[in-house]
Amino acid sequence: MYADYPNGAAAGLFLRFSFPSQASLGVTGKIDNFPLMFSGILNIGISTKGWAWFGLSANADWWALKYRIGKAGESDAWLYFGPGAEAVAEFGNNYWNLGLGFRLPLGVSFIVDRDWEIFLQISPGLNVIAIGSDGFGTFGWYPSHTGWTFAKFFRFSGDFGFRYWF
């Protein structure tokens, strides 16, 4: 009667909009019999003068909770939640940054025809360690540059995309 959440391998694309000021295009996927969802992302930093930097990031999330919340038209609606990790590399004019952090995605997905998934998620996160043109930073604190700043500590992203399960 109720469709199970798909198992196996998956691949898909998504759009991401993030704080602070970032737009991204990513690929997402899952390997069969491995509990993590992976993403690789091309990021563009946006400022009042246009693009400010570009970068790449990768994340791996463990969905500790997958809960069927009901039907949505012809599809099954699911809620998922769990911890993850993210690595970031950013480059711009006189700017570079490499960082590692934690994230906590919370998403809603719609399983259509058993194999297609449409998803919408938010992912708050914390930058743990970074090194770059601003110096060495931990938890948003850069002692040799700006001290502690909220935008260098906290990350927030919203994703919209799809996956095909095979």
pLDDT at 154: 93
**How large is the average pLDDT for residues 91-112?**
92
Assign 5 a pLDDT band (cuts: 50, 70, 90): low
Whole-number Å distance between alpha carbons of 104 and 101? 10
Examine the pLDDT at 1 and tell me if it is beyond 50.
no
**Rg of the chain over CA atoms, in angstroms?**
17
pLDDT at residue 44, as a whole number? 87
Between these two residues, 18 and 68, which has the higher pLDDT value?
Answer: 68
**Percent residues over pLDDT 90 in the chain:** 45
Dig out the tokens for 44 from the structure.
Answer: 């563009």
pLDDT (average), residues 34-58: 84
Higher pLDDT, 150 or 20: 150
In this structure, are residues 12 and 163 in contact, taking their beta carbons and an 8 Å threshold? Answer: yes
pLDDT at 52: 77
Is the domain defined by 10-165 classed in CATH 2.40.160? yes
pLDDT one-digit tens code per residue, 71-83: 877 788 999 999 9
Q: Which two tokens stand for residue 81?
A: 């939640």
Residue-averaged pLDDT of the chain: 87
Q: Where are the domains of the chain?
A: 10-165
CB atoms within 10 A of CB 16: 21
- Please report, rounded to a whole number, the percentage of residues in the chain having pLDDT higher than 70: 93
Residue 48 has pLDDT above 80, yes or no: no
- pLDDT at residue 14 greater than cutoff 80: yes
